Amino acid sequence: MIKRHTGAALILCLFVSVSEMTFAVGRQYPSISHKDFKRLEGAWQGSLTYLDYSSGKPYTMPANVEIRRIGNTAEYSWKNIYPDEPRANSADTVVISSDGRYVDDEFVVSNEKLADGSWQIVTEARGRDGNDNKEALIRHTYRISKNNFKVRKDVQFAGEQNWIMRHEYAYTR
């Protein structure tokens, strides 16, 4: 009797796995190209608002960014400038995968033009966040228009239903 249940469970698991693979194969995944980020090239001025996990309160500070495409690639240099805290200045390279389905190691889950004419790109990846370095699903939302640009990071900790706004950069030019 135990063997029969084990076999039935194995068949059920295989059926569910094959069904999920079939669903994933038939699904259309959004993608992006370097042209989606090309709109970001140049200098932007704005602010960074982040959630201080220690106090639980948001904090806002000036933040600027200079974005440049690196050669003829799908890579962009982001120079982060913090006028009030120059020691925090940094440079990052953002890479769009050759198939357009990833920004760095984050999967593109949405790429759409919004009613106001702006573009919104959403990426997600599993990672760790917070003072306790807990497992989480991390979502970045890029909202791009001609003169406004926002990047928002939201976090959903493992076992939780709610999303927490970790930080948001809001820029204009």
Q: Which of 148, 66, 137 is nearest to 114 (CA)?
A: 148
DSSP string, 50-69: EEETTTTEEEEEEEEEEEEE
Confidence of residue 6 (pLDDT cuts 50, 70, 90): very low
Q: Average pLDDT of 76-104? A: 96
| Structure confidence at residue 85 (pLDDT) | 95
Could you give the residue ranges of the DSSP H alpha helices within the chain? 2-26, 34-38
Per-residue pLDDT tens over the stretch 24-40:
454 567 999 888 888 99
0.85 exceeded by pTM = no
